[in-house]
Amino acid sequence: MKRIVWALQTVLFYLITRSVSLIPQRFGSGAGRRIGLILFRLLASRRRIAIDNISRVLPFMKNHPLWPGTFETAEEVARETFMNLGRSIVEVCRLYHGMGDTLIDSIEVRGREHLEQARQKHKGLILVSGHCGNWELMSLSIKRLFNENMWAVARHQNNPYLHSVVEKFRMVYGNRVIYNKLALRQILSVLKSGEIVGMLTDQAVFQDNGVLVDVLGRKAWANKAPVTIAQKTGAPLIPAFIHRENGRHVITIYPAYELCGDVSNDGIAKDIQALSRYLDDFVCAHPTEWYWVHRRWKRTEGIS
């Protein structure tokens, strides 16, 4: 019975993504915003999580020098966030079905020289980012934009049929996937071969795998893997993010982050905190382009 359900889910996923991909490109943005607005109304629990998250950090963001001053309430930010997610859904559907060339070719890259400078170390690279903007587009565009082999660390789908389909979709533009269960050995192998590993490091982790840092003014558990892997391999850590600007996408690549050199837990926490500041800056500058619907600050109740 479970296999039948898995098969039906996979067929439904394929049909929906295929249908969305056929929306004419000139109508894609408007259709995506409408899809996002429908999701905002239907997904009540996710809407509440987003509004609660935003409410708790809105004073911090409003005091940040990069705050755009466009929004007054958490609900306004959440509503626009869902509409941006809807736009990303439409774009990803086009990418998954091989119709994303125009979208990728229109991306502006800022800081390309930072990637080239890091390449001079003749080591693999770790691109550190978050669930910001259309992060799937950034991942799928690396091969075409930089002629670099990109391995994205992702979660294995519980539905094996759906997993197989999504994996094939993600490889359409030449990138590869490392699944986060038992991923360390493969990550080390990829870096040793001089290729790029992309890591989204803005999800909450358990205490055993993380360190406690400030995220938008609140304590949160952050994954220490990027720093420990960089310490082990010498691979440069490159913060990179994608956002929307004037009807197109912009990928910003920052200079390689220099580790503090302290391999103790305190040193790791210092480096992870410094990397987290890049996320703070991004979210405050582009508050509707972060994935607010996940519980980023869970398991920190009572920690000040």
pLDDT at 218: 96
User: Which spans in 22-159 are helix H?
Assistant: 25-42, 44-62, 74-96, 101-105, 112-119, 135-146
Mean pLDDT for 9-29 is 94
What CA–CA distance (Å, rounded) separates 245 from 242?
10
271 with 260: CB under 8 angstroms? yes
280 with 296: CB under 8 angstroms? no
Mean pLDDT for 108-122 is 93
Question: How do strand 108-110 and strand 218-223 relate by DSSP bridges?
Answer: unpaired
Cα 59–Cα 61–Cα 65 angle in degrees, nearest 5: 120
Write the pLDDT tens digit of every residue in 45-80. 999 999 999 999 999 999 999 999 999 999 999 999
77 with 288: CB under 8 angstroms? yes
Tokens representing residue 269 in the block:
């926490």
pLDDT at 12: 94
pLDDT at 302: 67
- The amino acid sitting at 58 is L
Which strands form 176-179's sheet, in the order they lie side by side? 108-110, 248-253, 237-245, 125-129, 196-200, 150-154, 176-179
Write the pLDDT tens digit of every residue in 133-169. 999 999 999 999 999 888 998 888 889 989 899 988 9
pLDDT(8) > 80: yes
pLDDT at 268: 96
Q: Which of 27-36, 44-53, 114-123, 125-134 has the lowest mean pLDDT?
A: 114-123
Going from N- to C-terminal start, the domains of the chain cover 2-285
152 with 178: CB under 8 angstroms? yes
Confidence of residue 20 (pLDDT cuts 50, 70, 90): very high
Residue 125 CA from chain centroid, whole number: 17
Q: What percent of the chain has pLDDT over 70?
A: 99
Q: Which of 168-182, 210-224, 281-295 has the lowest mean pLDDT?
A: 168-182
pLDDT(301) > 80: no
Q: Which of 88-102, 154-168, 220-234 has the lowest mean pLDDT?
A: 154-168
Write out the H or E segment, with its range, that includes residue 184.
helix 184-192
Please report where in the chains the tokens 């390449």 appear, as a residue.
Answer: 119
Quick one: which of 103, 177, 169 has its CA closest to 141? 103
pLDDT at 108: 97
Give the highest mean pLDDT range of 71-85, 111-125, 147-161, 165-179. 71-85
What CA–CA distance (Å, rounded) separates 253 from 240?
4
pLDDT(171) > 70: yes
pLDDT at 304: 61
Burial class from Cβ neighbours inside 10 Å (0-12, 13-18, 19+) for residue 29 reads: middle
What CA–CA distance (Å, rounded) separates 213 from 227?
14
Average pLDDT, the chain: 94
pLDDT at 122: 80
